[in-house]
Every structure is written in C-alpha cells, then in structure tokens.
Amino acid sequence: MPLENAVLTTDNCRYCLMCRHVCPVGHVTRLETLTPHGWGLLISSKQRGLIDWTDSAVDKLYTCADCGTCQSHCVTDQPLPSAIAEARAEVAELGLAPANLYSLNEAISRWGNPYAESEPDAVTGTGEVALFVGDDARYLWPDGLKAALTLLRAVGMDPVLIGAGRNSGYLPSSLGFPETARRLARANLDDLQASQATTLLTLNPGDTYAFRKLYSERLGIDFPANVAIKEVTTLLAEHLGAGTLTLRRAGGGPPHAYVDPAHTVRVADRDAAPRQLLAAVMPAPAVELFWRRERSHPAGSTSLRFANPMIAEHLTYARLGDARESGAQLLFCEDAGTLSALSSKAPRFGLTIRGLYELLAEQLV
Amino acid sequence: MNRNEFRSEMIRSELEDIVGQHFVSVDESDKLVYSTDWSWMPQMWLDRGQPLPTPDYIVHPDSAEQIAEIMDIANKYRIPVVPWGGGSGTQGGALPLFGGILLDTKRMDKIIEIDEVSLKVTAQAGINGEQLEWALHEKGLMLPHYAAASRCATLGGYLAPRGTGTISTKYGKAEDMVLNMQIVLPTGEIIRTAPVPQHAAGPDWPRLFLGAEGTFGVITEATMRLDYLPEARLMRAVLFTDLSKALEAGRLIMTRRLHPFVIRLYDPESTRSQVKKVLGLDYEGAYMVMGFDGDPDIAALEEQKALAICTGLGGQDVGRAPGEAWWEHRYDFYYPPLSLHLPWMYGTTETVTTYDKIEPLYWAVKRAVEEGFPEWDIKFIAHFSHWFHWGVMCYSRFIIEEPPADAQEALQLHNRVWQAAMQAVIDNGGMINEHHGIGLKLGRYMRQQYGDAWPFMLRLKKMIDPNGIMNPGKVGFGF
C-alpha cells in the first residue's frame, strides 16, 4: 500500500468508532486502544510526533488480527488492515518489531512457511484447474486436503497442486515484511503459470482474499486476469445443486454448528456454500453462532497467532464459548488454520471439532 | 522516589488489588487513546500535534462492587473518577481533564436477562449497543434506541447524556425506556432504583442520574423496555419548497397523534449539501423523510394520512425510494470522509423547543452563526429529527472548512461560534441541548439555562458527591 494512502486511511480511522462493534480483538480485550480507532490514532499520533514506537506501543500495533472485519463493515471501505500492515513494515524496517518476528520472517523467507524446514513441493504436470494448497493445509490439517482432493475427483476434477507448503504471502505481509510477502506471491504465481491453469481453486477464504485483493492492494502484484478464482466449497455446492455431486445423509449426532473461517468477511457471499453442503449430509439443521457470516469473528488463526499468541488464544476461546452458548457440541469448518486453533482448545469446552471436507468425503455416494 | 511518585504507586497498587494488575494501565499509548472522546476540541488538539491531559490510571472493573471499592480509593486520595463507555460523546463529557482514574466500563458487558413476556432486558451498562441489539434481534425484539452511535456506544452511554435515537419520535428517548437501574454512588454505595418507573411511591429521583453524565455516580446496570421488531417499515419522502410549511406538516402529524417512528426534515442547505453528498439525491428545497412501522395495515393508513397533511401544505410526494435510501444509509453520514472531519472546524449546536418557537429559533441561530463570522465562510446546516407532541429538536451544525491552523486560535474561534449559537438558543426559548449532553463544552451555559434553579442543582451535586470526585468540570459542576 502506498504510504500516502496509509496516512489518509489512519487519519480517517483515528476518530471513527463505527466498526468498534465488530472488531474481534476489541471484543475480547474490551480495551479502547485495541480497536480500529485505537490503532488508527496510535499510528496518526506517531506521524504527528505525539508518541514514539516504544515496546509497548509496538506491542499494541501488533495486536490487530488483520482479519478484515473492520473494513468489511466500513461504509467507505477504509483499508485500515493494510494501513496497519504498512505501519508494521515501517516499524520492522527500523528494527523495532517484536524480536520473535524477525526469526519467523527468516524462516518464512527460507522455507516459505513458519511450520517446517522443508521446501514447498514443485509443481508437477499441467491442467486447466489448479488447487492452491498453501502451508496451513499442508502442515496443520493434512486430512482436510486429502478429503478435498477426494471430493474434487468425485466431480471429475484432478487439479494441479500449487503452492503446497508455501504461504500465500498474507502472513509476512500482515507482520510487516512485505518483501518476503512479494517473494512468496511471485513464487505462487510462477507455480500457477507453470500449471497452465485457467481456474485456481482455494481451500479457504483467506487464500481467496490473498489472490483477489492482497496481492494487488498491498504488494502491488497483479493476479493474472485470465485466471478465475473459486473456493472449493463454492464449486462443490454448485455440483450439489446441479446433481453432479451426490452425498448421503449421516446418522444422528449431537447439535452441530458451522464455524465461519478467518477472512470470511473479506470474500463476498461465500458463507452460503459450506452451509448448503453441511445441510446436505447432516440429519438435523445446524445451530448458528452469534458471530457468524458477515459478522463472523476469526479463531486465533490469523497472523495474530504469531504476533500475539495470548490474544489469539482468547479469540479461539471466544469462538468456542460462542459455540457452547449456542448449544452446539460438534463444530465443522473447512479451514485448516481455524480447525487447528479450535481443536487445540476444544476439549476444555466439551466440544468436538471436525473438518468439513472430511465429513463430506465420508458421505460421498 | 518522591512523595508524588510514592502516592501514585500506592494508588496504582491499591487499584490493582481491586481489579487485578492486568486491568490497570498507566501505559503512555493507552493514556493517549483515552485522552480524547468524539468531540471536536480534543481531536483538533491532537490533530495539530498538541498533547492533551491524560488520565493517571485507566481501570477496567468488571462489577459494581469493584467500582464501589474504586470510589473509596478516589475519595481517600481525592482524585477524579471519569466514567468511560464507548467514548463517543461529542461534548467532551468523558475527557479526563484533571487526570485521576478513567473508569472504562466495557468489561461489564453481560446480558443478565431477556424477558419475552414483559418485553424487557437487563444488562450491564458497558455492553455495546449494537451487540445488544443483535442479541435481541435473535428473539425478534429490539431496544428502539437507534442512535447513530449505537455501533460504538454502551448502554450506560445511552443513558448518561439522555441520548435520543433515530426512531425516537415513536419510541421515545433512551431515558423513556428505562425501567430501573443499578448505580454506584460517588460515596461507594451501590443502590437500585424501584423496579418500575410509573408509580406514586415518592418523587422520581432516579431521573437525577439520567443526564448527569457520570457526575452523580456510575450507572452499572439497567433494565430497559423492549419492542417487537416491526412487521413492516414503510418509508416515504416528501419535498417542500418552503421550510415553514414542512415544519407545519410535522407539527400537524404529531399533534394529531399519528405515530411516525421517524420524521427527518432537512433544511434547504442541508438538502443541497449533506443529502446530495451522502445519499446522492439532488433536490432543491427541504427534504423530509417519514417512516411508519408495525402492523402493515395500520402503518399504511397512518402513512396515507400523514402524506395527505404534507401534500395539503404543498409538499411533493417523491415516493418510497428516496425514503428507503435514507433508512438504508442513515448512518453513512458518520463515516469518514463522508462525515464532518478535520482539519475542518465544526460543532453540533442542537436544541429543542416548542412548536411556537422552533422556526424563529432556527432562523435566529442561523443568522447568529452565518452573519457573525463572515470572514470564515461559515456554513450552517440543520435538520429537524426528533419530534414530540409539543415541539421538535433542531439538529444544527456549523462548519468552517479552513479554520485557523494554530490550535489555540482555532479553539478560541470555536468557542466564539458556540457562544453566538447558544446565546441565540437561550434568547429564543430553546434548550442548550436535546441529546448530546452538556459535557465540558456546554457547562458554562448551565447557570444561564437554569437561572434560579442552578444553585439548587449545585447543592444536589455537593450532597451526592461531597468530595467532588465524579467527572469534575462536566455538566457545569465545579472541580
């Protein structure tokens, strides 16, 4: 994001309180400083010489979850998350970012992911359809990837896998390392080009957002205009509607709910498809969480899990608490990061977490 | 460690003993964020790179009991307590002018009970307005206080300045929805008002706390009456060439006891500027939006009768679409850059009075502002948005797009414009405020507003808050 746009955005947001009610971090911390208005005011005050980037101020800058909820509820579409990423980049450039993030950035820069010292898989083969795997699906919830591929084959697709083991670029961009993000983005687009695909499938809304918006808005990299982007759940729901995907209904079970993945709010109209798929196989209607659909909050699976693990954990607790309050005992989601975060804390809430893709694959006819 | 540092550490330590270390902040970045609310004065000050007075301690209690203990500390050390909800006040009511303890109530955000039989909700005062509303919607209910600040304000913030919402014309002000409250007094006592407000068991003292803006204590819990979500909401827009006729139409609609949930009448300047900029509707004249809700048949019949009044006075029915556009986008006016924004200078000099006085009052304030400061190319816009059986509120604003760059000069000019507007209001029988509260900005007009009754109010303050710890410098009370 150009610096002048970031300044304009934070100047707009510093005194605006109109998205306070949807900010997940503000909701779990109840602190004025940790809201979009608070972050905007800190950044604009730094520009006016009213504060310095002290350790404490930097910590606060790194508490935004970069989930996009504020922007999605903004009537004038202020790109505050991108402006915060820009401010973080300035802080990181000055050597003032939290120390652990520099080593994390080195790891991502070297391996393409924060989880394993392993190179991303090379692209093999070509085809009209590619599937972006990324790092979360590869390392955090590999069963979901296998199940998604089973489902895609069931509707006659055998996509070329790209970016397997490589982050989309969202993570380093969010943490203030745009150059690393650009390198990952270019590598992913090189994979895409090598695959010769004209349709790129994604496994979650976070990756959809990265390709559709983050690349151009934050990194100045154009996504190829001739390649369509579609989420796997959207594709499967289309096949379900067309009768080219047949699923059998599962047996009885406890009350269940669907958890909207992180970044849902950044992708318009994506929340219906997974619910249609779930409704097709579950014996009873799902209950809904309070923080759902256009107001959905992320679990602790965004960049926050690296920037501020404690608040990320609180976001996860909040999702599980919301689920328990709704009466659900069994939660479904297709996003590897969300599943991983929820699973780590679910037992203490008496909840069971299951991958949506795995459920659907089991119910294939 | 000197005496002041020692005292400061003692206070901090005692506060931490009450709420826990994690919920007391003395961090400079927190202090900066809590140094400004939504009023123009502090925002301008920071915008010009000038630091503001900050709180000494930002404290996040989670119960009335904790607040009571905090009051003990404040009384012991004689330090201010400034209650803070959403920080969305426009008059400086939450500014920590004299330091002390800033009491952020947002951890007190629980819904205690939703009663679907008597249609009431009991909630802690720190709950966010919109989140409360969403929870009520899940049950087909609403708290019909639809303030522009609902997305950021708290329930306590609705009540402390006697807020008014968009649909008040049918459903009343926030204060009208209160059944009972829990309050922590400045002396540390936790009291509850009677379960219901309409009775004859003595004077109506609970209303003392509505409009006190935290100077009489902290509202910690409230039970509010609810309504069913309406089955129908019918919106309509009418265009008048003559503002006077439009005001008369509004008066007749109200005095004939029709029940619009909203009448919003924009003056010609506001129609030309705000309505065009935000809604994209290019009208000349006075644009009026009316809404009727509830049972579809009754709403339609009332709308028809109201429309007949309007057209009988020369209003042009411009149909549903412009009215629906307003309803859909009614809060867009508050999002930057559509909203009034720095470096502009602006102020909301709103007022309320009876129907016989409203038109002369509008013109008097407009003249005072426009003619009093010709060198500043000042703009005056107004709409009439909260209608009662006896009168109407005039939401007027002044705007200077190129104010002085120097912060002190800008503040002085701001005060002069306010002075001109408020004097015109008082001279023409208006109240200095209808729903934004008094805060810091209007305190200096309270003596003039209340005349002989003002010393009585000062004695009340002294009795309720003997050490003067609560939100000093606000609502015209002393330090």
Q: What is the pLDDT of residues B50-104, one digit of tens each?
A: 999 999 999 999 999 999 999 999 999 999 999 999 999 999 999 999 999 999 9
Instruction: Please report whether residue A117 resides in a domain.
Output: no
Please check whether residues A196 and A261 belong to one and the same domain: no
Q: Is the Cβ pair A17, B106 closer than 8 Å?
A: no
**CATH assignment at residue A268:** 3.40.50.11810
Whether A77 contacts chain B with CB within 8 A: no
pLDDT tens-digit map of A270-320: 999 999 999 999 999 999 999 999 999 999 999 999 999 999 999 999 999
Residue A126 forms contact with B (CB below 8 Å): no
Digit-coded pLDDT (tens) for A348-358? 999 999 999 99
User: What pLDDT is stored for residue B278 in this prediction?
Assistant: 85
pLDDT of B190 above 80: yes
**Chain A contact set for B33 (CB, 8 A):** 32-33, 37-38, 41-42
| CA A252 – CA A285 distance, rounded (Å) | 11
Classify residue B452: in a domain, yes or no.
no
Q: What is the pLDDT of residues B192-210, one digit of tens each?
A: 999 999 999 999 999 999 9
CATH number for the domain that contains residue B354: 3.30.300.330
- B368 and B431 in a single domain? The answer is yes
Which pLDDT value is given to residue B34? 98
| Residue A151 and residue A208 in one domain | yes
| Pair B23, B84 in one domain | yes
A62 part of a folded domain: yes
Q: Give domain status of residue A119, yes or no.
A: no
- Would you say B32 and A51 are in contact if contact means Cβ atoms under 8 Å apart? yes
- Rounded CA gap, B327 and B167, in Å? 11
- Per residue in A8-28, pLDDT tens? 999 999 999 999 999 999 999
Domain count, chain B: 4
Give the best residue of B29, B43, B152, B335 to mutate against chain A (max A CB count within 10 A). B29
Task: Please indicate, yes or no, whether residues A200 and A141 belong to a single structural domain of this protein.
Answer: yes
Residue A247: what pLDDT?
A: 97
How near does any CA of chain B get to the CA of A118, in Å? 40
What ipTM is given for this predicted complex? 0.95
- State the pLDDT at residue A38: 98
Quick check: B439 pLDDT over 90? yes
Q: Does the structure show a pLDDT above 80 at B1?
A: no
- Over residues B295-342, the pLDDT tens digits come to 999 999 999 999 999 999 999 999 999 999 999 999 999 999 999 999
Residue A118 within a domain: no
Give the model confidence (pLDDT) of B364-399 as tens digits: 999 999 999 999 999 999 999 999 999 999 999 999
Instruction: Confirm whether B339 is domain-assigned.
Output: no
* A213: DSSP letter: I
In this structure, is residue B91 part of a structural domain?
A: yes
Q: Which residues of B touch A (CB under 8 A)?
A: 27-30, 32-34, 36, 38, 43, 46-47, 49, 51, 60, 84, 86-88, 104, 106-107, 109, 126, 128-131, 134-135, 138, 149, 151-152, 329, 331-332, 334-339, 341-342
**Residue B86 and residue B93: Cα distance in Å, rounded?**
11
Same domain for B207 and B252, yes or no, is: no
Determine the Cα–Cα distance for residues B431 and B437; give it in Å rounded to an integer.
Answer: 11
pLDDT digits (tens, 9 = 90+) for A116-145: 999 999 999 999 999 999 999 999 999 999
pLDDT, residue B424, reads 98
Residue-level pLDDT at B478? 77
CATH number at residue B52: 3.30.43.10
Chain A / chain B CB contacts < 8 angstroms: 105
Contacts of A28 in chain B (CB under 8 A): none
Q: Do B49 and A41 touch (CB under 8 A)?
A: no
Residue A106 lies in a domain: no
Give residue-wise pLDDT tens across range B166-185: 999 999 999 999 999 999 99
In a domain, B399, yes or no: yes
Q: What is the CATH number of the domain that holds A164?
A: 3.40.50
Mean pLDDT calculated for residue range A312-333: 98
Residue at B474 is within a domain = no
Range of the domain at A353: 242-362
Q: How far is the first Cα of chain A from the last one, in angstroms, to the nearest whole number?
A: 47
In a domain, A111, yes or no: no
Whether omega for the bond prior to residue A36 falls within 30 degrees of 0, making it cis, is no
* Rounded Cα gap, residues B244 and A267, in angstroms: 48
DSSP, residue by residue, A172-210: HHHHT-HHHHHHHHHHHHHHHHHHT-SEEEESSHHHHHI
Per DSSP, chain A holds a count of helices (H) and strands (E) of 19, 7
Catalogue the E-assigned strands of B280-365.
286-294, 316-319, 345-348, 351-354
Instruction: With respect to residue B477, please indicate whether it lies within any of the assigned structural domains.
Output: no
Please tell me whether residues A271 and A336 are part of one structural domain.
Answer: yes
**Rounded mean pLDDT of chain B?**
97
Instruction: Please report the pLDDT score of residue A99 as a whole number.
Output: 96
State the CATH number of the domain containing residue B186: 3.30.465.10
Is B297 inside any structural domain?
A: yes
Report the percent of chain B where pLDDT is more than 90: 97
Pair of tokens at residue A285: 């209607």
Are residues A249 and A234 part of one domain? Answer: no
pLDDT of residue A5 exceeding 90 = no
Domain that holds residue B392: 345-441
User: A250 and A352: one domain?
Assistant: yes
Q: Does A113 map to a domain? A: no
